[in-house]
Structures are given as structure tokens and as C-alpha cells.
């Protein structure tokens, strides 16, 4: 119940902060000629939060082949030059532009060494998400938010597909006892989304000339509490980490015909 309320609050907060960008009817595909490019970086400022890792409590031979005893939750990845990976950058309330062309690697999911790959997914509304597991153990993809599924993966490389009909934020977690497994998926109604790379860089191409709000969205990195959950295989209680709500930053930007406009974000613990 607490988890459901927390997720509901997170979705409401995200909708408010982003101006409810998910409305499909607001976006029309047009031919974009002489479009502009919006690019830049998301970088970290100040001391980084201390991360101890999360203990591997199940299937160590599969989940922890190097016997490190703990795994990185991948909630905050800061590169050597301060770039923040896995930040979603997008244009807010854009009404028309190019056809959907989001990168295919962000539109399919694998479960490998008890991690969801990729950690951040971008899936077009009404498109199909293909999922599989490379691990010889039972995983599940439990979705909550804009989509709600609970899909078991008892066999390796078995592909399961589902259509993502509703735009919005979807949280993914495993109910097979691997409580550290987590990922976030954005189901989106227009193509002007990007995920920052390991250097914190992003790029939005073929943007119709005009004025926009560009938003940087990060899933959040703090563990606020733990909640009781159940391993569907053993039916034992397990402790799952509960994370803080996502964070957003916003700037005004002008896209100019055949030009590149630079927008940089600086984020911190504060």
C-alpha cells in the first residue's frame, strides 16, 4: 500500500513538473526541413553521495560471478569528467515535428547477471517492448505505473513482447527475489527524447525552429527506506530498497534553422 502511494505520488509529481507531456493528441508528424539541433551535457557538481552497493542475497553464482558480494544499483553514474549518465533529456510540450526514431537498443530489455539492460528505456507509445532473460534462474519483470504487467522468465532467451499503450513513467523490478534489480521506462508520444551517455552528453536532432522548454529528468539516487516483498519462488520475505522521487531541471531554449544550440545542466545533491 505504501509503495503504491509512493509511486502514485511520483507519477503525479512527474506529470506536474513536465506539464503532462504525454498527450498523444498534442503531437503531429510533419516534414522537418532546416531543423536545428539541441545538444549539451548533464554534469554533477559537489560531493557525490556515498554508495556502498546492495548485498547479493540470491543466486550469487549468476548474479555475482566475481564474488564482490554487492552490486551497484546504477542509480547515479558519474563519469571521470563529471558527466551524469542515464539522464533523460526531452523537449516539453512540442506539438509537431519528425516521425518517431528512438534508438532500438532503448526499446528492448534483457536480464543479464541479475541486472536489467538497459537501465533506462525509451519506448514509443503503442510500440512493442521485447523482453528476455539471459540468466539461468527465474526472473520477473514487474511493471507498475503507466503500464502494469508481472511477467515470469523461467527460461533463458525466451522472448516476451508487450505493447506499451499508455504514455508515462513505468518502474521495473524483479519479484524473483533479486530485489536490487530496478529500471525505469518512459513510454513517450514524440521522438525528442535522449538518454545521456557516460560523459553526460545528449543530442536532439531535426527540431523545428522555435522556442521550447528542455527538461532533464533523473530517476533519483537516494534510498529512503526498505519495504517487505516476497520472493515468488520461495515465498519468503525479502527487503526491497525504496528510492526517492525523480528529479527534474528545466531551461528555455531556441532551436535555430540549421544550427546547433547548446544547453548544459548542472545537478547536485542539493
pLDDT at 167: 95
> pLDDT of 70-123, one tens digit each?
999 999 999 999 999 999 999 998 999 999 999 999 999 999 999 999 999 999
Q: Report whether pLDDT(8) > 80.
A: no
| Cβ pair 174, 141 in contact under 8 A | yes
Decide if pLDDT at 52 tops 90.
Answer: no
What confidence score (pLDDT) does residue 147 get?
96
The CA-atom distances, in angstroms, between 178 and each of 3, 46, 73, 125, 168 are: 17, 32, 12, 29, 25
> 17 pLDDT exceeds 70?
no
- Provide the percentage of residues in the chain whose pLDDT is more than 90: 78
Instruction: Report pLDDT for 24.
Output: 43
Please tell me the pTM assigned to this model.
0.88
Q: Where are the domains of the chain?
A: 2-31+50-199+218-248
Task: Report the alpha-carbon distance of residue 64 to residue 114 in Å, rounded.
Answer: 8
Instruction: Indicate the CATH number for domain 2-31+50-199+218-248.
Output: 2.60.40.420
Spatial strand order in the sheet of 210-218 = 193-195, 88-92, 210-218, 247-255
pLDDT band of 10, cuts 50, 70, 90: very low
pLDDT digits (tens, 9 = 90+) for 186-199: 999 999 999 999 99
Beta-strand relationship, 127-133 and 108-112: parallel
232 vs 127: which has the higher pLDDT: 127
Amino acid at each position: 500500500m505504501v509503495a503504491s502511494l509512493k509511486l502514485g505520488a511520483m507519477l503525479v509529481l512527474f506529470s506536474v513538473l513536465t506539464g503532462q507531456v504525454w498527450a498523444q493528441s498534442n503531437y503531429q508528424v510533419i516534414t522537418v526541413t532546416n531543423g536545428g539541433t539541441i545538444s549539451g551535457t548533464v554534469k554533477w557538481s559537489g560531493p557525490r553521495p556515498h554508495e556502498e552497493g546492495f548485498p547479493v542475497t540470491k543466486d550469487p553464482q549468476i548474479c555475482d560471478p566475481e564474488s564482490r558480494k554487492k552490486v551497484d544499483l546504477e542509480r547515479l553514474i558519474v563519469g571521470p569528467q563529471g558527466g551524469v549518465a542515464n539522464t533523460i533529456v526531452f523537449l516539453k510540450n512540442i506539438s509537431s515535428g519528425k516521425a518517431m526514431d528512438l534508438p532500438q537498443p532503448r526499446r528492448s530489455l534483457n536480464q543479464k547477471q541479475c541486472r536489467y539492460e538497459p537501465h533506462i528505456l525509451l519506448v514509443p507509445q503503442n510500440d512493442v517492448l521485447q523482453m528476455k532473460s539471459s540468466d539461468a534462474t527465474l526472473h520477473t519483470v514487474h511493471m507498475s505505473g503507466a503500464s502494469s504487467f508481472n511477467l515470469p522468465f523461467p527460461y533463458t532467451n525466451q522472448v516476451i513482447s508487450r505493447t506499451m499503450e499508455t504514455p508515462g513513467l513505468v518502474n521495473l523490478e524483479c519479484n524473483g527475489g533479486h530485489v536490487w534489480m530496478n529500471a525505469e521506462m518512459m513510454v513517450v508520444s514524440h521522438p525528442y527524447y535522449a538518454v545521456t551517455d557516460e560523459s553526460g552528453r545528449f543530442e536532439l536532432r531535426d527540431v523545428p525552429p522555435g522556442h521550447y522548454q528542455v527538461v532533464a529528468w533523473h530517476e533519483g539516487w537516494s534510498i529512503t527506506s526498505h519495504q517487505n516483498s516476497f520472493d515468488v519462488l520461495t515465498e519468503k520475505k525479502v527487503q526491497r530498497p525504496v528510492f526517492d522521487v525523480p528529479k527534474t531541471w528545466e531551461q528555455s531554449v531556441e532551436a535555430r534553422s540549421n544550427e546547433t544550440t547548446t544547453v548544459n545542466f548542472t545537478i547536485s545533491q542539493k
